Amino acid sequence: MEKTPFNFPVGYHKFHPDQLFNYQLNRWYSWGYARKEDMEYAGLKINNFQDWKNTMIKLAQKALQEDRLINAAFYYRAAEFYTFPPDPDKEVLYDKFRDLFYNIFQKEVERFKVPYRDGFLPVIKTSPGVMSKGTIVLHGGFDSYMEEFYSWMWYFSSQGYEVICFEGPGQGLVRKKYGIPLDIEWEKPTSVILDYFNLDEVTLIGISMGGWFALRGAAFEPRIKRVIAQGHALDYMKTANILAQKMLIFFTKYFPDFSNKMALKNLKKGDRQAWTTSNLMYITDKKMPLDAMEIAFRMNEKNMHPENIKQDVLLLSGREDHFIGFKMHKKQVDVLVNARSLSDRVFTTEDQAQNHCQVGNTKLALDTMLEWLK
């Protein structure tokens, strides 16, 4: 059957003066799910998280009335993204997003539930209309949902690849419906996926923090032959400046009770830091902020085991990534001393792909991956 085509517009726009909101508005547009005029409208209406939620819901409802179902689905996802975990609307919005998504694409994807621990790993799969060039296994990072990457899956399939996208511990359905929190030992879910589909020679793509997960998985799973890591950090504690690192370590070590008390108090402010902390606590299923922060302490070079990575590796970074400082790129390149081959690309403003995960020129990033796979 003919699959829904997607357009990946080129350009990173000033939809909003605050990068916190501007990046997300650009993300949905760059990935082919949003109209430019809708993102421009949202940028004018949003001043805080509550505005974000209300505006995105309004845009979703309008899109539904006008039978723009793909827009509606991803506007509900956008609304859910900046809704705080304790808010009961968060799960309602998530369910609306997924219901719409599968109503739209039910004939274009195969769905699977792979047994894992006390629940399941959800999977969506797309196949090319011709003989497959190979299998790509794809996953996101910290707080991503697999459905977000459907436009990517469509593009890879259109170029002849079978694509399997899954959610792991802490992500999407695995956390929301089965209560399985984030686990940095990514080789565990990855191996279960490879077993289930009887795969023994795959390309693994990890997006955002998923890049760290993918490299960690490759260190322990030889059935992964090629790894593409996009927009991650080798060590997440070292993304901050030296002073911030030292202060965090000091207060965590010597004043844990005080640090937890202040972080919990800050949750009531409903600001950027409150959202970050609340989200981290939810995904890791921790009651105290410092316990949730432990995951960041563990996501480092030692626990990635780069010395064990012997696959072909492609690293993609944005020169002006506002989440992951560019200093992380060379650090990652330097430690992959045993990779069978190592390629890297840094995207700049000339590419219009200098941002996190190349939002602004998604097609260029995807074409870069495909060219490397050839």
DSSP secondary structure letters along 9-44:
------S-SSHHHHHHHHHHHHTT-S-HHHHHHHHH
Q: What is the mean pLDDT of residues 261-276?
A: 84
Per-residue model confidence as pLDDT tens digits over 304-318: 999 999 999 999 999
Residue percentage of the chain with pLDDT more than 90: 86
Query: Helix or strand or coil: residue 223?
Result: coil
DSSP secondary structure letters along 305-327: -GGG--SEEEEEEETT-SSS-TH
Cα 251 to Cα 258: distance, rounded to the nearest angstrom? 8
pTM attached to this predicted model: 0.96
Please give the pLDDT value at position 265. 83
Please give the pLDDT value at position 250. 66
Give me 103's structure tokens: 């109503």
Whether residue 254 has pLDDT greater than 70: no
Per-residue model confidence as pLDDT tens digits over 52-103: 999 999 999 999 999 999 999 999 999 999 999 999 999 999 999 999 999 9
Q: What is the mean pLDDT of residues 22-32?
A: 98
Please give the pLDDT value at position 239. 79
Give me 301's structure tokens: 């070079």
Query: Helix or strand or coil: residue 93?
Result: helix
pLDDT band, very low/low/confident/very high, at 32 (cuts 50, 70, 90): very high
Whether residue 1 has pLDDT greater than 70: no
Mean pLDDT score across all residues of the chain: 95
Please give the pLDDT value at position 261. 84
Closest CA to 86 of 277, 294, 263, 257: 277
Whether residue 256 has pLDDT greater than 80: no
Please give the pLDDT value at position 245. 67
Cα 169 to Cα 18: distance, rounded to the nearest angstrom? 31
